[in-house]
């Protein structure tokens, strides 16, 4: 038995017939080939699988693909636009916010959401925002700095314009 799942991911429409039990993370990775989002724990603890569902970060290992039917998704592959990196991507490079890179896509998606809603977060707010996600390499310090960097270098065309 299969079920039709139609979604918009990073602005592109997709439709696939899949098993009703298929998890969203596996749908994205295996059906759509969007392997930037990672699977890490199965229990919603690590956050490697964070993507946006209707502009809100969710843990895609704990949603069925079917639950995303008719919804709009955004993944790490959708951050770079028109050949220009999102400031959070640039921030992670500038501040060494990643090492092995496995948690990075999920961290970036949460960071983007945070800055969209809180353009000038302090350290405590950033730590709170990423506290549902695990990084085993960085000790979080440089992730915090990376997000601060992004806050201070918001895109000129962004809603949350920071310093020039």
Partner 1 sequence: MTADGHSPAPGGFGRMPRKEDQRFIRGKGMFVDDVRLPGMLYGAVLRSPHPHARVLSIDTIAAEGHPKVKAVITGETLAGLNLAWMPTLFADTQAVLATDKVRFQGQEVAFVVAEDSYSARDALELIDVEYEPLPVVVDALRALDPGAPVIRDDRPGRTDNHIFDWETGDAAATEAVFRDAEVTVAQDMLYPRVHPAPLETCGIVADFDQVTGKLTVWETTQAPHAHRTLYAMVAGLPEHKIRVISPDIGGGFGNKVPIYPGYVCAIVASMTTGKPVKWMEDRSENLMSTSFARDFHMHGELAATRDGKIRAVRVKVLADHGAFNGAAQPSKYPAGFFGVFTGSYDLEAAYCQVTGVYTNKAPGGVAYSCSFRITEAVYLVERMVDVLAFELGIDPAELRLRNLLRPEQFPYTCQTGWVYDSGDYPRTLRLAMDIAGYEKLRKEQEALRAEGRLMGIGLSFFTEAVGAGPRKHMDILGFGMADGAELRIHPTGTAVLRISVQTQGQGHETTFAQIVAEELGISPDNVEVVHGDTDQTPFGLGTYGSRSTPVSGAATAVVARKVRERARIVASAMLEVDPADLEWERGRWFVRGDPDQGKTIAEIALAAHSSLELPEGTEGQLDAACVYNPPNLTYPCGAYICVVDVDPGTGKVSVRRFIAVDDCGVRINPMIVEGQVHGGLADGIGMALMEVIAFDADGNCLGGSFMDYLLPTSLECPSWELGETVTPSPHHPFGAKGVGESATVGSPPAVVNAVIDALRPYGVRHADMPLTPAQVWRAIQGRPLRTDLAIG
Which residue ranges make up the site for partner 1 (CB under 8 A)? 19, 21-22, 26, 29, 33-43, 45-46, 48, 75-77, 79-80, 85, 89, 92-94, 96, 98-105, 108, 123, 126-128, 130-144
| 4 vs 96 by CB, closer to partner 1 | 96
| 60 vs 104 by CB, closer to partner 1 | 104
Write out the two tokens for 95: 């501040």
141: number of Cβ within 10 Å: 12
| 4 vs 136 by CB, closer to partner 1 | 136
| 7 vs 106 by CB, closer to partner 1 | 106
* Closest separation in Å from C-beta 62 to partner 1: 12
* Number of residues in the chain: 164
**What does the alpha-carbon distance between residue 45 and residue 141 come to, in Å, rounded to a whole number?**
19
* Closest separation in Å from C-beta 70 to partner 1: 23
């Amino acid at each position: 038995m299969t079920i039709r799942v139609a979604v918009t991911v990073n602005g592109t429409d997709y439709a696939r017939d899949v098993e009703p039990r298929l998890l969203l993370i596996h749908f994205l990775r295996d059906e759509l080939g969007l392997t930037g989002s990672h699977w890490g724990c199965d229990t919603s603890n690590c956050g490697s699988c964070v993507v946006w569902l209707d502009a809100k970060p969710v843990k895609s290992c704990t949603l069925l693909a079917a639950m995303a039917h008719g919804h709009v998704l955004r993944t790490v592959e959708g951050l770079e636009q028109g050949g220009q990196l999102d400031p959070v991507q640039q921030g992670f490079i500038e501040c060494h916010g990643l090492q092995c890179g496995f948690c990075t896509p999920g961290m970036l998606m949460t960071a983007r959401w945070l800055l969209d809603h809180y353009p000038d977060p302090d350290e405590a707010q950033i730590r709170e925002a990423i506290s549902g996600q695990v990084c085993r390499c960085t000790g979080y310090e440089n992730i915090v700095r990376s997000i601060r960097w992004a806050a201070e270098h918001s895109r000129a065309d962004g809603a949350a314009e920071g310093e020039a």
